[in-house]
Amino acid sequence: MDITAIYPGTFDPVTNGHIDIIARAARLYNEVIVAVAVNSNKSPLFDIAQRVALLEEVTANFDNVRIVGFDNLLVDFAKQQNAGVILRGLRAISDFEYEFQLAGMNRRLSPDLETVFLTPAEQYEFISSSMIKEIARLGGDVSSFVAKVVQDGLIEKFNRG
Active site residues: 18, 42, 91, 129
Tally of helices (H runs) and strands (E runs) in the chain: 6, 5
CB crowding 121-160: b at 16 or more within 10 Å, else e:
eeebeebebeebbeebeeeeebeebbbeebbebbeeeeee
d(CA 115, CA 27): 17
DSSP class of residue 46 equals S
Q: What is the DSSP letter of 33?
A: E
